[in-house]
Amino acid sequence: MGDEGMWPGRACLEQCSDENKSTTADGVALSNATFQHVNVLVTSGSLIPSLVKCLLFQLDDLIPEGNVYSSWEVGKLQCFSLIKERFGGPNVQFCVIGDGWEECAAAQTMKWPFVQVDPRPNSPHRFPGLNFRTLGHYISVVYGNTDEESDSGTKEQLPPAAIYEQ
């Protein structure tokens, strides 16, 4: 079974990660790019088995181990708050991708866009239809148009920032 079959969200993460290839182990950009993407995983499972799952699904190149959070004891809202504290800034935009009510409610409380996915076959909310462009539409609904005019009159994309996977 290929990577897509093992974890269908991988293609979307790869597409987002292709936008900023030069990052440090904790996801911080090394280049002077206009924007960067940071992939973060928030799981309701305990941390160690979740890290092992990331290795088994070969996601360690897309989600650094320092960007894996467990909401086991504190809940999704607390994890999202910690993530906002860590990665937040004036031009940072967050987007939650998940399949549960808890991350949906937490995203709503944080005023972050929520993209519902469903791992079941034949579901209308499957990962294969999810891509960077689709995420951009969700983000623009909450944050407004992400293309802003710079002082030089050219369009400059604001950072789409962190994407949080469930």
Query: Would you list the domain boundaries of the chain?
Result: 10-17+35-144+157-165
Number of Cα atoms under 13 Å in the Cβ half of residue 104: 7
Q: Which of 32, 36, 39 is nearest to 11 (CA)?
A: 39
Q: Rounded CA gap, 98 and 104, in Å?
A: 7
At 83-119, the pLDDT tens digits run 999 999 888 999 998 888 999 999 999 999 998 887 7
Report the C-alpha gap between 158 and 35 in whole angstroms: 6
Residues 162/92, Cβ–Cβ less than 8 Å: yes
* pLDDT above 70 for 30: no
Q: What share of the chain is helix, strand, coil (3-state, %, to 5)?
A: 35, 20, 45
Please tell me the predicted confidence (pLDDT) of residue 144: 86
Q: What is the pLDDT of residue 34?
A: 60
99 annotated binding-site participant: yes
Q: Are strands 147-149 and 155-157 parallel, antiparallel or unpaired?
A: antiparallel
What tens digit of pLDDT does each residue of 32-85 get?
A: 456 678 899 999 999 999 999 989 988 889 999 999 999 999 999 999 999 999
115 is written with which tokens?
């993209």
Report the Cα 2 to chain-centroid distance in Å.
22
Say which CATH architecture domain 10-17+35-144+157-165 belongs to.
Answer: 3-Layer(aba) Sandwich (3.40)
The SS3 call for residue 4 is: helix
Q: How confident is the model at residue 27 (pLDDT cuts 50, 70, 90)?
A: low
More confident call, 65 vs 132: 65
pTM of the complete model: 0.74
Question: What mean pLDDT comes out for the span 150-164?
Answer: 42
Higher pLDDT, 10 or 93: 93
